[in-house]
Structure 1
Amino acid sequence: MDYSFDGSGGYRVPTGLVGLDVQLGGGVPPGTTILILAEPGASSELFAQQFVYGGLLNNEEVYYFSAEHPIPEIIEDMKNFGWDIDEYVDNGKMDFIDAYTLRFCNILPKGIACNLSAKDFLKQNADTMNQLKASTAKERKGQYRGVIDSISYFLRSYDMKTVTEAIEYISSIGKLTNAVQLILMTGGTHDPKVENGLKSICDGVIEFRMKERGSELERTILVRKMRGMIPPDKTISYNITNKGIELETTTRVL
């Protein structure tokens, strides 16, 4: 397992974002499940894709469970930032789980969204929650990391108790296997009690925020909590570049 070392007695798994890893003393603790809370447009999907590519470069296996976006769209978005993952998909290091297509397979005209016959469709795990649990419980070789995009879909489709139990299940698997997992959630679209409930059961919480400052749009990250460490006590500004998300190295007075 290729972990970085933070110099204070704790091993850390690098996220793939150098600036964030510096702020966190080398990365995040192995076995950590992190809630990524972001309003639309705050680039949490880009963060997840950068996290994925960082894992591949760290010689880890990666799974990406998508219920919100078509897989070809995710791959194309990653290529736009220079993260070509075709080789990793071909050799099995990158495992995409397509829950998006199955959501529409039985309601859209045949041939538009899905080429499965009715018989083949029934063979698939058509219940998205069962598909999620099966995907996260899949046995993988060596160190791995994963992304769930997004838990907001499940909150729209299932009751809170079912979603909470699923996250606890996923988190327990991560702790047993030392996997770092991101769970994406759209901020501002769910009841505050729901957000707080999910924040409480995840090992880490990272919030992506946007604010208008004059004619500019200011983007910041807040590490609200992270298991086993004291998180930074200030928000961290970041920019979107052609290389992905880059955190500012200087502290801005807000």
Structure 2
Amino acid sequence: MVLTSFGLKNVPQNVVLLIEEDIGDVKSVFFQKICSDALAIGKKVYYISTRSSEKILAEEMNNFGIQDFDEKLTIIGNFSEPVALFDMCYKRHKLCNRLYGDDAGPLHNITDADVCIIDMFSSLFIHEEVEIISEAIESLINISRDSNITFLLSADMGILPERAEKIIRSMVDGVIQFRTEYTGGKINRYINIPKMKGSLPLNKMIAYNVTSQGITMDTRERVG
């Protein structure tokens, strides 16, 4: 998968990874590439978006050769309720009852998926307390282990309180950050991987470009 191009020797499975970005939509391009790679090797993928409709997502994925009618791909757009996320994972998850009682009904069941992408995870919990956010991450970690699912969660830096962001980073199995710097009228983009299960932290940030084919590594320059 695309993670190997970042210089990681080991690509973890059945984990919860946090994908952060200071500004922009690069993480969505990254997710669509992940989705394409996973489907190409026969993985079942759930793609959940809080920002786009199913129609728009399907059109964007066509750029990567992904067809929305692929039987191994389920797209859920305009997603807005955190309780529905856990209702899809477990019919009666303890966090569902805590947040909303017994009012929520099951929408989908994602426990048979191999990869579950949640773009953007942070927007689902903007109005929740830090305790609820940490319990949500703990729940996803348990679900990933029990049901052999890799969760990829996206977040815009600064959306959640600083304490909540630090707690999420400390709890997840890996953190990938897309950074943008503006210098002398130029835009420089870097990938920082401060944490990844099974791998030593990279000692340099990785320069990259965004093209019509997705994210490509810029091997001419490495800074850190």
For the aligned pair, the TM-score class normalised by the smaller chain equals: 0.7 to 0.9
Distance 2:14 2:28 in 1: 21
Q: Distance in 2 between matches of 1:205 and 1:135?
A: 24
Which residue of structure 2 lines up, in the alignment, with residue 179 of structure 1? 149
Q: Which amino acid aligns with 1:241?
A: T
Stretches of 4+ moved more than 3 A in 1? none
Cα distance, 1:253–1:228 mapped onto 2, change above 3 Å: closer
Select which of 132, 154, 169 maps to 2:85. Answer: 132
Alignment of 1:114-193 (within 5 A): 128-137=81-90, 138=109, 140-141=111-112, 144-193=114-163
Pairing of 1:15-54 with structure 2 (within 5 A) = 16-17=2-3, 19-20=5-6, 23-26=7-10, 28-41=11-24, 43-54=26-37
Give the 3 Å change call, closer, same or farther, for CA 18–170 of structure 1 in structure 2.
Answer: same
1:87-106 to structure 2, matched below 5 A, reads 87-88=69-70, 91=71, 93-100=72-79, 103=80
Normalised to the residue count of structure 1, the TM-score between the two structures is: 0.74
**1-structure distance, mates of 2:60, 2:69:** 16
Q: Letter of the aligned partner of 2:5 in structure 1?
A: G
Whichever residue aligns with residue 85 of structure 1, its letter is: Q
Other structure's SS at 1:252 match: strand
In the alignment, which residue of structure 1 is the partner of 2:179?
A: 209
SS at match of 1:206: strand
| 1:248 pairs with one of 194, 218, 223 | 218
Larger Rg: 1
Shift of the 222–174 alpha-carbon distance from structure 1 to 2, 3 Å rule, reads same
Structure 2 regions of 5+ residues with no counterpart? 91-108
Q: Gaps (5+ residues) in structure 1? A: 1-13, 104-127
3-state SS of the aligned residue for 1:188? coil
Paired residue for 1:83, among 57, 65, 72?
65
In the alignment, the residues of structure 2 paired with residue 75 and residue 216 of structure 1 have an alpha-carbon distance, to the nearest angstrom, of 32
Contact 1:207 1:223 in 2 (8 A): yes
Other structure's SS at 1:181 match:
strand
Describe the SS at the equivalent of 2:158: coil
- 1:229 Cα deviation from its structure 2 partner: 1.6
Q: How many positions carry a matched residue from both structures?
A: 206
Q: Quote the residue 1:235 is aligned against.
A: 205
CA distance in 2, matches of 1:139, 1:47: 21
Q: CA deviation digits over 1:17-59, x for unaligned, max 9?
A: 5522xx1115x21111101111221511111111111111121
Paired letter, 2:43: E
User: What is the distance in 2 between the residues matched to 1:196 and 1:40?
Assistant: 18
Q: CA deviation at 1:87?
A: 3.5
Secondary structure at 1:195 match in 2: helix
Instruction: Report the CA distance shift for 1:48/1:211 in structure 2 as closer, same or farther (over 3 A).
Output: same
**Cα deviation, residue 249, structure 1:** 2.9
